[in-house]
Structure 1
Amino acid sequence: MNDDYYQQNAQRFYDDTVNVNMSVLYEPFLAHLKPGAQILDAGCGSGRDTRAFSDLGFEVEAFDASAELVERARQLTSRQIEVMRFQEMTAVEKYDGIWCCASLLHVPETELPEVMALLARALKPGGVWYLSFKYGRGEREKDGRVFTDMDEAALQGLAAGSGIKVDLIDIWKTEDLRAGRDSEIWLNILLARRA
């Protein structure tokens, strides 16, 4: 369902997201990384964040499940970006930072523990991980897409239930940064993998 949506609406999604200024969310994440650190942009969408991190001197790898979005992200970033789903992650202790901005929210709730464990495994000990979900609880469908919403309690339960060895650095709420979407609330999470 989500794959069909992004294949059919790739250009609209790209246009709506590519120029959003995300620096207020980059700062807490990047504060924990050394210059030149290796970042994975997991579920990169338009490629906006991949480009921003690359422009700041970080080594960035990226993937997205939508071939249409990957093509646009490749054009934007001039980087090799993979067509891949979270469930296909095989990296082990490779990344200093993982960025999951508005991407894990499309993983079905029953699959999130496994996906979280795969991503945590890809993070180096001591590495930092940013995640964001629309604020709420449970699964819902809207405009041909399925969303898994999270609140603080649901997120803590998910982290505990997945058996991943991470510590919470920070958790906070923000309004949507896209024009005309300020009534939507996001839950932002910053985690660190235990050394």
Structure 2
Amino acid sequence: MSDAETVSVYNTRADSYNELVSRDTPDQDLQAFLDAVAPGGHVMDLGCGPGNSAAMMRDAGLSVDAVDASSGMVRVAREKYGIDARLATFDDITGTDLYDGVWANFSLLHATKADMPRHLAAIKAALKPGGVFHIGTKLGSDEMRDSIGRMYSYYEADELLGLLKDAGFAPRAPRFGRDKGLSGEMADFIVVLSDA
């Protein structure tokens, strides 16, 4: 189940979030994902936000299923980028062998730790053999709200890699960094591309 307060924050700040995260060319993580997905492949942008990444995937020749729990984000994705995004939560991930790739860039960190294994299992099932999964999350060990009310689950690197392996993924080398988010707070993060 989506956290209502987190969704409300994204609904009211969708336009400013778009200004914060949107770019004209893929960053290194999106480029690695694009390079790993089969040409012309079908991908899911899980927690697509304002749709900028989905637009770059589309422009790279991929078929994109863009979903987000925030109606504000879905609106921006449609109006700003022409992405046919739809409202959906992590619990709506169903099906088997549907996608060549799933992109969950700093979205699944809003799921509870208790729910993460279930979500990862659903993503693994939805990926075709040979598919890839990208996840980005913040580093830490707690579950808490940030200064603007969004709920976060933080993961240590070994914890996240263990969850991915337990779900049947083969994680590649993680990338670590530090950046400022919508709240204005600096945070350490980890991104991992895994083979299904």
Matches within 5 A, 1:145-184: 145-160=150-165, 163-176=166-179, 183-184=186-187
Q: Is the 8 A contact 2:25 2:56 kept in 1?
A: no
- Read off the aligned partner of 1:121 and give its amino acid letter: A
- Read off the aligned partner of 2:120 and give its amino acid letter: M
Q: Which of residues 5, 9, 15 in structure 1 aligns to 2:9?
A: 5
Q: Distance in 2 between matches of 1:100 and 1:169?
A: 15
Q: Distance in 1 between matches of 2:142 and 2:185?
A: 21
Q: Deviations over 1:115-140 (max 9, x none)?
A: 11111111111101100001212212
Q: Is the 8 A contact 2:180 2:186 kept in 1?
A: no
Which 5+ residue runs of structure 1 have no aligned equivalent? none
Change (3 A) 1:91 1:77: farther
Q: Distance in 2 between matches of 1:182 and 1:167?
A: 32
Q: Which of residues 67, 83, 89 in structure 1 aligns to 2:87?
A: 83
Q: How many angstroms does 1:93 deviate by?
A: 0.9
Q: Could you list the structure 1 runs, at least 4 aligned residues long, displaced by more than 6 angstroms after superposition.
A: none
Q: Is the 8 A contact 1:64 1:84 kept in 2?
A: yes
Q: Distance in 1 between matches of 2:107 and 2:161?
A: 18
Q: Is the 8 A contact 2:77 2:84 kept in 1?
A: no
Q: TM-score, normalization: structure 1? A: 0.89
What is the aligned partner in structure 1 of residue 38 from structure 2? 34
Q: Is the 8 A contact 1:51 1:76 kept in 2?
A: no
- Read off the aligned partner of 2:172 and give its amino acid letter: I
Q: How many angstroms does 1:145 deviate by?
A: 0.7
- Read off the aligned partner of 1:189 and give its amino acid letter: V
Q: Distance in 1 between matches of 2:139 and 2:97?
A: 29
Q: How many angstroms does 1:81 deviate by?
A: 1.0
Q: How many angstroms does 1:23 deviate by?
A: 2.0
| 1:128 counterpart = 2:106 | no
- Read off the aligned partner of 1:185 and give its amino acid letter: D
Q: What is the count of residue pairs matched by the alignment?
A: 191
The Cα RMSD (Å) is 2.2
- What is the aligned-residue identity percentage? 26
What is the aligned partner in structure 2 of residue 106 from structure 1? 110
Q: TM-score, normalization: structure 2? A: 0.88
